[in-house]
Amino acid sequence: MNSRRSFVAAAAAAAACVAPAVFAADEWSPTRPVRIIVPIVGSTNDVLARLVAPKLQEALGQPVVVENKPGAGGNIGADFVAKAAPDGHTLLVGYNGPLAINVSLFEKMPYDPVKDLAPITLAVKSPQYLVVNPAAGVSSVAELVAKAKAQPSKFSYASVAMGSASHLTMEMFKSAAGVQLTHVPYKGAGPAVTDLLAGNVHAAFMVPGNVQQFVKEGKLKLLATTGEKRFGDSPEIPTLIELGYKDMEATGWVGFLAAAATPRPVIERYHREILKILKTREMSDKLRAMQFDVIASTPEQFGAWIRSETAQWGKVVKATGAKVE
């Protein structure tokens, strides 16, 4: 995992050092509305897309519309972009599932995340929260493990989608802790969190932006995080690594991509404009408030990250026996 952390540090440093440049007046620009496809509903992916879209619209001089195309663990939306005309008018806001996990989890894939999509930038990255509904009656990871072992058929967990980081991270935890929790997948963070708040499911791994307000309000109990170190605004909450689960560093991340044959000048224009947006004080503050680290990588770094994550999550799928249900 050290090399993966080094990558993130290098990507952040490289993005911070990008110097302003003068570009030709005839650089590529869209000639009609741009569609940003989000392959999930009610998630931080959706939030990021809708924060970036109006700023991108200003920069490009064309309408930029966000469309949700959920289903099949994000595969439907990702496949739509992979098969779109490679002319720069369709973008994907992708995440772990359809870009790095599903190739190991699904028996058949309608697209190849590496061959059929062109990375633009890894935008943000964040560890996850392990949260429970207070009605579950647990106040620590140790209590959750003890009760789940005592009543293996009682506890369930939500994920934002089949094959998402929230799904596979819980499978990692189940394997490491030797417990059984029933998986209930949803089509997005919105319905997953709604059922978690209602007590219809007991626990979940979620990126902070999806649940932190409910933690502050006492509607959800935060037990631990999957980061390398504790969060600055919740220093009392331990990491799972601290609690003895040494391999439980698992992150959620979001990036922008286009169809694979998209011309390089198009990729470079989007990369340049999206980085400008991500590095504004307004955007950085909003993303950091959701506990996201702004990465803003190069296309090449994002491609290397996807390949690294594919190998990492492939090991998790194999070790845990996770399956599409």
Residues 212-233 have pLDDT tens digits of 999 999 999 999 999 888 877 7
Q: How confident is the model at residue 22 (pLDDT cuts 50, 70, 90)?
A: very low
Outline where DSSP puts E strands in 133-186.
156-159, 182-185
Amino acid found at 113: P
Residues 36-51 have pLDDT tens digits of 999 988 788 999 999 9
CB 173 within 8 A of CB 130: yes
Q: How confident is the model at residue 162 (pLDDT cuts 50, 70, 90)?
A: confident
Q: How confident is the model at residue 11 (pLDDT cuts 50, 70, 90)?
A: low
pLDDT of 17 > 50? The answer is: no
CA dihedral 114, 115, 118, 122 (to 10 degrees): 0
Residue 321 exposed, middle or buried by CB count within 10 Å (0-12, 13-18, 19+): exposed
Amino acid found at 199: G
pLDDT of 308 > 50? The answer is: yes
Q: How confident is the model at residue 26 (pLDDT cuts 50, 70, 90)?
A: low
Mean pLDDT of the chain: 89
Concatenated DSSP letters of 180-215: --EEEE-SSHHHHHHHHHHTSS-EEEE-HHHHHHHH
Q: Based on C-alpha coordinates, what's the Rg of the chain? A: 19
* pLDDT at 8 (0 to 100): 52
Distance of alpha carbon 127 from alpha carbon 135, whole angstroms? 25
User: pTM for this structure?
Assistant: 0.83
Residues 93-129 have pLDDT tens digits of 999 999 999 999 898 999 999 999 999 999 999 889 9
Mean pLDDT of 273-278: 97
